[in-house]
Amino acid sequence: MNPPANPKSRKELIDQVHNSATAADLHERIYWIYKNEDDRAKYIDTMNGYVGFFASSIQAHFIAIVVILYAIYEGRRDTVNMGRLYEGASADLKACVETDYNRAKSIWKKIAILRNNHFGHVSDRLDADAVFKRADITYDEIKELIELSKKLVNSFSYAEDRSSFVESLDSAKDTYRMLERLRSS
């Protein structure tokens, strides 16, 4: 029998929530390139040339966004999540981030509907259209939740040790480069 793992330090929690928010952001940027009207029109012939790859890639990126955002805000006390960071914050910090945290949680409830009824589990009573209708979430809200997540984790990090995260990965640049190479081949 393995001994129980030591609980993570607050800084480790912050780092892991940051990594999750970054992953959601990277997936969202790729998904957006595939789905937004301007880029899709430019690259649709290229994407249709590799339909199996792009059809599954589009779905995989969206599922990743939903699952990651769900995990960031789910409320279990034995997992790494934003709620643990919020609850462990000082009263002053909570007051500073409360509006953003509450807004994020309100959007997360919609993400939870998608995850719990279609992606993490599949409802036997609702088809995909009904799940999305029930969730009533917009793409702008998903992007907002990602941005709020990055903002919140930076607030917690700065309060912890006066550090913040700078985003250096750019999945959009790499995706455009890949699509241009495929288009020109």
pLDDT range class, residue 7, cuts 50, 70, 90: confident
Whole-angstrom distance, CA of residue 54 vs CA of residue 109: 29
pTM score, whole prediction: 0.93
pLDDT, tens only, 37-51 = 999 999 999 999 999
DSSP, res 115? I
Distant-in-sequence, close-in-space partners of 119: CB < 8 Å, separation ≥ 6? 63, 66, 67
Q: In terms of Cα–Cα distance, which of 27, 37, 33, 26 is closest to 61?
A: 27
Q: Which residue would you say has higher pLDDT here, 26 or 5?
A: 26
pLDDT, tens only, 61-109 = 999 999 999 999 999 989 999 999 999 999 999 999 999 999 999 999 9
Cβ pair 71, 81 in contact under 8 A: yes
Percent of the chain with pLDDT over 90: 89
